[in-house]
């Protein structure tokens, strides 16, 4: 669940990131487009303004020329001709400019070239008129009064020029207004785009934050679930360990009580058998001593009874008692070992197992078996004596049930598994049939060919000890090529016992 959530989280975030990048790209390109468009509009607007100024200058040049002419005519002073000359030069320059610049406005589409040309032509007409007047006046062909009609005509032309100029300026003004409006629109568009982009980024960021928060929440939930699961698992392990330990304890008490209660009648059987024996001895010597007819069948029977039947019966009773006695003693021993208080200490298992191997080295030598520790055995905190007993039992067993036709090889190995240490004792002996896997751990039960001495105690003891150490023992075998006993114990018995006390 966590994994798919994580993948979705990455997917969402990539999507949001890509969205953010696209929005930024859009903002940047919009800014670029609109600013270059604004620049264009500004340039065009400037061009229109220049035309407007040029038209004004053109007219003002004409007015200057006219004023100078008028001054000269009125005063007759040559000094007035200088401004006239200046105005002419300026006018020529401004005319050329006006023609050029007017064609530039809106690529020449806004102001018709004819209207500019007409203005220029009218200007030229006016100038021609002025220069004619001047020439006429200087040569003295006409006096001031004769010039009046010419002046009137000049005014007429001038009015026409002003009209034309105003028309052109109007066009220039409208171009400027249009451009300014376009500029305003572009600026507005840019602002809108930026605002939109910002809004989108805010939305995306909010989305990313939400996705992240949700993801964090999921992680948190998953973590909490994991803790719960862990706790449940731990408590389950604890319950199981407790149950096993409790069963084990009950079994120990049971064994102890049974063995004691079995002992009481056994004391009687043993005691009265001894009494019976001593009574029989007396009886036997009496029966032998008594003279009688050797042919008497009763006497013969009595002799058979005291010489054969009673000793035979007593012999069987004796051997059975002995067996019973040893069984009870084994149960007692087992039960005592089960009741012994465990003393967990840090143990170097490599050392401990080596010691166990050494203690029964003689047996390995006799059986021609080779024994080795594979790798390094993990150290544990556990009970030394119980572990010594476990390994001695298992190694002893392995040696006992080797197969005659192949040289024995016994291997011990170990590893850690979570809170447990797992040890294996593997042999290449005769193996154990699968049907007997459980049976061999039961008290007084044995499996396979009964050609070796044993009471069926060792493995029961081993299982009891392994369970007390917070684990168990199991067996693996194909019934042919060998057997592996797997002993699991708590890695830290102090911890395990501490847990069970709570």
Partner 1 sequence: MSKEPKPVAIIMIEDDEGHARLIEKNIRRAGVTNEILSFRNGTSAVSYLLGADGSGLAAIGRPSLVLLDLNLPDMTGIDILARLKANEHTRRTPVIVLTTTDDAREIQRCYDLGANVYITKPLNYESFANAIRQLGLFLSVMQIPELD
Number of chain positions touching partner 1 (CB under 8 A):
15
Q: Which is nearer to partner 1, 188 or 272 (CB)?
A: 272
17/366 Cα distance (integer angstroms): 77
Q: Shortest Cβ distance from residue 395 to partner 1 (Å)?
A: 30
Q: Which is nearer to partner 1, 325 or 396 (CB)?
A: 325
98/122 Cα distance (integer angstroms): 14
Q: Which is nearer to partner 1, 270 or 419 (CB)?
A: 270
Q: Which is nearer to partner 1, 333 or 445 (CB)?
A: 333
The answer to whether 169 and 56 have CB atoms below 8 angstroms apart is yes
Q: Shortest Cβ distance from residue 352 to partner 1 (Å)?
A: 27
Q: Shortest Cβ distance from residue 427 to partner 1 (Å)?
A: 37
Q: Are strands 344-347 and 380-383 parallel, antiparallel or unpaired?
A: antiparallel
Tokens matching residue 425: 């004792």
Q: Shortest Cβ distance from residue 455 to partner 1 (Å)?
A: 17
Which of the residues 241 through 280 are near partner 1 (CB under 8 A)? 260-261, 263-268, 270-275
Q: Shortest Cβ distance from residue 278 to partner 1 (Å)?
A: 10
Q: Shortest Cβ distance from residue 264 to partner 1 (Å)?
A: 5
Token pair 């989108």: residue: 200
Q: Which is nearer to partner 1, 96 or 274 (CB)?
A: 274
The answer to whether 269 and 320 have CB atoms below 8 angstroms apart is no
Which of the residues 25 through 84 are near partner 1 (CB under 8 A)? none
168/218 Cα distance (integer angstroms): 73
Which of the residues 315 through 354 are near partner 1 (CB under 8 A)? 325
Query: At 181, is the secondary structure helix, strand, or coil?
Result: helix
Q: Which is nearer to partner 1, 318 or 403 (CB)?
A: 318
87/70 Cα distance (integer angstroms): 14
Buried b (16+ CB within 10 A) or exposed e, 350-374: bebbeebbeebeeebeebebebebe
Find residue 416's DSSP bridge partners: 421
CB atoms within 10 A of CB 262: 15
Phi-psi region of 109 (alpha: psi -120 to 50; beta: other; left: phi over 0): alpha
User: Considering only CA atoms, which of 67, 72, 70, 116 is closest in space to residue 96?
Assistant: 116
Q: Shortest Cβ distance from residue 233 to partner 1 (Å)?
A: 38
306/283 Cα distance (integer angstroms): 8
Q: Which is nearer to partner 1, 335 or 393 (CB)?
A: 335
Q: Which is nearer to partner 1, 219 or 327 (CB)?
A: 327
Find residue 410's DSSP bridge partners: 371, 427
314/327 Cα distance (integer angstroms): 20
423/417 Cα distance (integer angstroms): 10
Q: Which is nearer to partner 1, 112 or 327 (CB)?
A: 327
Q: Which is nearer to partner 1, 246 or 339 (CB)?
A: 339
479/490 Cα distance (integer angstroms): 29
For 410-429, the three-class secondary structure string (H helix, E strand, C coil) is EEEEEEEECCEEEEEEEECC
Q: Which residues bind partner 1 (CB under 8 A)?
A: 260-261, 263-268, 270-275, 325
């Amino acid at each position: 669940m966590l994994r798919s959530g994580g993948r979705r989280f990455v997917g969402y975030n990539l999507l949001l990131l890509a969205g953010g990048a696209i929005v930024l790209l859009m903002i940047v390109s919009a800014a670029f487009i609109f600013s270059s468009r604004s620049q264009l509009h500004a340039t065009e607007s400037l061009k229109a303004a220049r035309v407007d100024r040029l038209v004004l200058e053109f007219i003002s040049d004409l007015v200057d020329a006219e004023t100078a002419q008028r001054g000269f005519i009125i005063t007759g002073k040559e000094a007035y001709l200088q401004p006239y000359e200046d105005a002419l030069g300026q006018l020529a320059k401004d005319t050329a400019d006006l023609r050029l610049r007017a064609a530039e406005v809106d690529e020449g589409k806004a102001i018709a070239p004819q209207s500019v040309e007409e203005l220029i032509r009218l200007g030229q007409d006016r100038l021609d008129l002025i220069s004619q007047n001047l020439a006429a006046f200087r040569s003295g062909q006409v006096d001031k009064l004769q010039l009046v009609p010419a002046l009137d005509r000049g005014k007429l032309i001038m009015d026409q020029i002003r009209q034309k100029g105003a028309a052109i300026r109007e066009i220039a003004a409208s171009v400027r207004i249009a451009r300014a409006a376009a500029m305003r629109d572009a600026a507005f568009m840019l602002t809108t785009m930026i605002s939109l982009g910002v809004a989108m980024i805010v939305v995306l960021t909010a989305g990313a934050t939400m996705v992240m928060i949700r993801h964090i929440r999921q992680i948190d939930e998953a973590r909490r679930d994991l803790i719960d699961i862990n706790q449940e698992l731990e408590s389950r392990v604890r319950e199981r360990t407790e149950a096993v330990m409790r069963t084990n304890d009950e079994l120990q008490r049971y064994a102890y009580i049974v063995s004691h209660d079995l002992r009481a009648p056994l004391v009687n059987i043993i005691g009265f058998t001894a009494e019976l024996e001593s009574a029989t001895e007396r009886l036997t010597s009496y029966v032998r001593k008594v003279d009688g007819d050797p042919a008497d069948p009763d006497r013969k029977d009595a002799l058979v009874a005291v010489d054969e039947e009673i000793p035979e019966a007593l012999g069987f009773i004796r051997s059975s008692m002995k067996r019973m006695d040893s069984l009870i003693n084994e149960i007692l021993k087992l039960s005592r070992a089960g009741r012994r208080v465990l003393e967990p200490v840090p143990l170097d298992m490599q050392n401990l197992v080596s010691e166990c191997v050494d203690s029964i080295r003689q047996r390995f030598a006799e059986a021609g078996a080779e024994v080795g520790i594979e790798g390094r055995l993990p150290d544990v905190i556990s009970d030394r004596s119980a572990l010594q007993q476990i390994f001695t039992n298992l190694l002893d067993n392995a040696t006992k049930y080797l197969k005659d036709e192949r040289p024995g090889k016994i291997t011990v190995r170990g590893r850690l598994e979570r809170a447990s240490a797992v040890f294996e004792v593997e042999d290449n002996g005769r193996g154990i049939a699968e049907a007997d896997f459980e049976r061999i751990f039961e008290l007084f039960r044995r499996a396979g060919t009964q050609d070796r001495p044993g009471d069926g105690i060792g493995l029961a003891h081993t299982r009891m000890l392994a369970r007390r150490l917070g684990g168990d023992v199991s067996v693996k075998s194909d019934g042919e090529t060998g057997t592996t006993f797997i002993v699991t114990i708590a890695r830290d018995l102090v911890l395990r016992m501490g847990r069970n006390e709570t």
